[in-house]
Structure 1
Amino acid sequence: MLVGMNWILLSIVSATLLGAYDAAKKWSVQGNAVPVVLLTTVSIGAVLYSPLVIWSTFWAETIPLDRLVVRSLSWKEHGLIAAKSVLVGASWTFAFSALKHLPLSIGAPIRATSPFWTILIAILFFGERPTPMQWLGIAVVLIGFWRFTLVGRREGIRFTRDRWVALMMAATLLGACSSIYDKWLLQRAGFDPVTMQAWFTIDLVPVMVPLALWWYRFDAPRGSLQDGGTAGEIGGRPAQPFRWRWSIALVSPLLILADWFYFVALSDPTALVSVVSVVRRSSVVIALGFGAKALSEANFRAKSLCVGVILLGVVLLTWNS
């Protein structure tokens, strides 16, 4: 059924799920212990993928679609996937921590500038030369980002000084590096999408365990895990307890589904990757709307204009790329 669906429709579904994923992340980390939220979400993702891995290992011939078969990997290939897990784990740690303190309507658009950073990294380190249209896109993204700094000041957020903005920028840069690495893994190293996604999701669990153990050893308020204890003081700063929310259970499934629809859309021989990428980035519109309505975040119209400028820049960046 999915194969026969229009790839643009599949891209829209992916963008919608990705926007919901951003909203679930924000809701999950508000007033919560980020390391435990991260470990919980990646563990849920690993649990969801484990049955498919086991099925592929012992009864691969009974899987109806070849694209669903998770291939066995050599130790070297596992090492390549583990490297991606470390890269993404660092990016997610920075992003979740920043999103806890930033409005969703600020954090999500920063993440939406990822194509800009991907192209910039390709220029600086891989000798790529943008087309005139891409140079125009870079300029438009920078203008949109500059406008965001002005809007952020109204809410007391100075982009050049705010450490949470710096963390979100670091997360976005690492995400851009991950995109370049993904391209290498899929096109040069020969991984298929479901194999890469399944093993990467499982490998994320051990990557996140040390951070969660560090939190439990040094930052966890005593009794917070057992009886919902309140935040105390550690080293002169508030210690944040972990609180279970059902949005935490949605984070990994939403991301897995969003990526799945994205991969299926790209598998269509008639699909234009430039259009699919732009549609996927439009997920920021959903995050913006959720922040304005559900979280009552301010300056909706001004932020909407900035998002529109950034998305226009992304369109130009990916045009005919």
Structure 2
Amino acid sequence: MLTWMFLSVISALLLGFYDSAKKMAVNKNAVPIVLLCSVSIGAVLYLPLMTVSVITPDLIQADWLRIKSLSWSQHGLVLAKSLLVGASWTLAFTALKHLPLSIGAPIRATSPFWTILIAVSLLGERPRPIQWAGMLIVLFGFWCFTLVGRREGVRFFRDRSVLLMVIATLLGSCSSIYDKWLLQRLEPITLQAWFTVYLVPVMVPLALWWHRASRRGEIRSPDGTPAVFHWRRSIALVSPLLIAADAFYFIALSDPDAMVSVVSVVRRCSVVVALAFGASALSEANFRAKSLCVGVILLGVVILTWKP
């Protein structure tokens, strides 16, 4: 258990830095173009490894780094994951553009609740009582963020951006369950590489629509000026951070003993990094109250990972 749990914690830390870079990238920017740029960078990072794996696979000594070829049916399965994640990311990036990071990240982090329900009802997973207690405490900490959000004028049941983030979270939970199923059939590096490449054509149609609409003046910024895309260095960090976070996540999930319900909860503790970044770099409000919520989450994680 310690191996896949340790990998999950590393994934959570990297995911927190990814959320921070994502917020900087989409702030007052064109979400579809940001998405296309970031996924294209990710695909470019994987192409050399994919090329070597096909042409001269013997050059890659470590088998876990060798990207395998897929059958047509397997390509279809990976493409389905890319479509699912692409929809989730589009909604999440759009919501995060308008929400404070310290609010948007915790909403996204509620995905373990939905993942647990799906995993228990469909996969037959049975976490131990102490793990149930830890997960409930973590979810309670996430719920506390809804109370803090009211102080910043974010009405969780009326705000459009909140609704988009909730839908994105539900899609993300479905993706977590799908990941567990896929990783019993595909190796982690193979799934991650092909999934990253397929994200590019998935994102192209939305980016083309935005480009054409913006040129016709149909899309405008909140101040009424034509919407434009701004290149930022943070865009270049989004994919590398996510690739690293997903690498640890996929390897953890590929362990037959790993429980997707537990891995998902630990992974979403990336909210700690997002909170710290939101307070220090973005000067977001209510840091003390949000810190208490994070304290509750950390308590839940300690109980969750406790091994008597």
Q: Does 1:201 align with 2:196?
A: yes
Give 1:308 deviation, angstroms: 2.8
- Correspondent of 1:56 among 47, 53, 56: 53
**1:115–1:314 Cα contact (<8 Å) kept:** no
Q: Does 1:77 align with 2:74?
A: yes
CA distance in 1 between counterparts of 2:131 and 2:196 reads: 33
CA distance in 2 between counterparts of 1:169 and 1:144 reads: 17
Q: Does 1:304 align with 2:299?
A: no
Deviations 1:47-82 (A, max 9, x none): 110111111111111112111111111111100000
Q: What letter corresponds to residue 43 of structure 1 in structure 2?
A: S
- Correspondent of 2:43 among 36, 40, 46: 46
Q: Does 1:117 align with 2:114?
A: yes
> Match for residue 215 of structure 1?
210
CA distance in 2 between counterparts of 1:138 and 1:220 reads: 48
**2:41–2:239 Cα contact (<8 Å) kept:** yes
Structure 1 unmatched runs, 5+: 1-5, 223-230
Q: Does 1:161 align with 2:158?
A: yes
**1:220–1:241 Cα contact (<8 Å) kept:** no
Residues 54/245 of structure 1: CA separation in 2 closer, same or farther (3 Å cut): same
**TM-score under structure 1 normalisation?**
0.83
Give 1:253 deviation, angstroms: 0.6
Q: CA RMSD in A?
A: 3.2
> Match for residue 176 of structure 2?
179
Give 1:123 deviation, angstroms: 4.3
CA distance in 2 between counterparts of 1:307 and 1:30 reads: 24
Q: What letter corresponds to residue 212 of structure 1 in structure 2?
A: A
**1:21–1:251 Cα contact (<8 Å) kept:** yes
Where 1:297 maps in the other structure, the secondary structure is coil
CA distance in 1 between counterparts of 2:126 and 2:225 reads: 48
Structure 2 unmatched runs, 5+: none
**1:274–1:318 Cα contact (<8 Å) kept:** no
**1:281–1:311 Cα contact (<8 Å) kept:** no
Deviates more, 1:300-309 or 1:56-65: 300-309
Deviates more, 1:264-273 or 1:67-76: 264-273
**2:145–2:290 Cα contact (<8 Å) kept:** yes
Deviates more, 1:235-244 or 1:108-117: 235-244
Residues 203/251 of structure 1: CA separation in 2 closer, same or farther (3 Å cut): same
**1:113–1:310 Cα contact (<8 Å) kept:** no
Deviations 1:207-264 (A, max 9, x none): 0001101111223576xxxxxxxx9749997653110001000100111122224445
Deviations 1:19-49 (A, max 9, x none): 1111100000000000000000000000110
After superposition, residues 120-139 of structure 1 pair within 5 angstroms as 120-123=117-120, 125=122, 132-133=129-130, 135-137=132-134, 139=136
> Match for residue 227 of structure 1?
none
**2:31–2:93 Cα contact (<8 Å) kept:** yes
CA distance in 1 between counterparts of 2:283 and 2:173 reads: 30
Residues 46/112 of structure 1: CA separation in 2 closer, same or farther (3 Å cut): same
Q: What letter corresponds to residue 27 of structure 1 in structure 2?
A: M
**2:176–2:260 Cα contact (<8 Å) kept:** no
> Match for residue 3 of structure 1?
none
**1:221–1:239 Cα contact (<8 Å) kept:** no
CA distance in 2 between counterparts of 1:154 and 1:269 reads: 44
CA distance in 2 between counterparts of 1:125 and 1:264 reads: 22
CA distance in 2 between counterparts of 1:17 and 1:57 reads: 29
Residues 285/10 of structure 1: CA separation in 2 closer, same or farther (3 Å cut): same
After superposition, residues 248-259 of structure 1 pair within 5 angstroms as 248-259=235-246
Give 1:146 deviation, angstroms: 3.2
CA distance in 1 between counterparts of 2:292 and 2:221 reads: 41
CA distance in 1 between counterparts of 2:267 and 2:139 reads: 20
CA distance in 2 between counterparts of 1:313 and 1:275 reads: 11
CA distance in 2 between counterparts of 1:153 and 1:215 reads: 32
**2:16–2:273 Cα contact (<8 Å) kept:** yes
Residues 239/168 of structure 1: CA separation in 2 closer, same or farther (3 Å cut): farther
**TM-score under structure 2 normalisation?**
0.87
Residues 319/12 of structure 1: CA separation in 2 closer, same or farther (3 Å cut): closer
CA distance in 1 between counterparts of 2:173 and 2:258 reads: 22
Q: What letter corresponds to residue 45 of structure 1 in structure 2?
A: G
**2:214–2:220 Cα contact (<8 Å) kept:** no
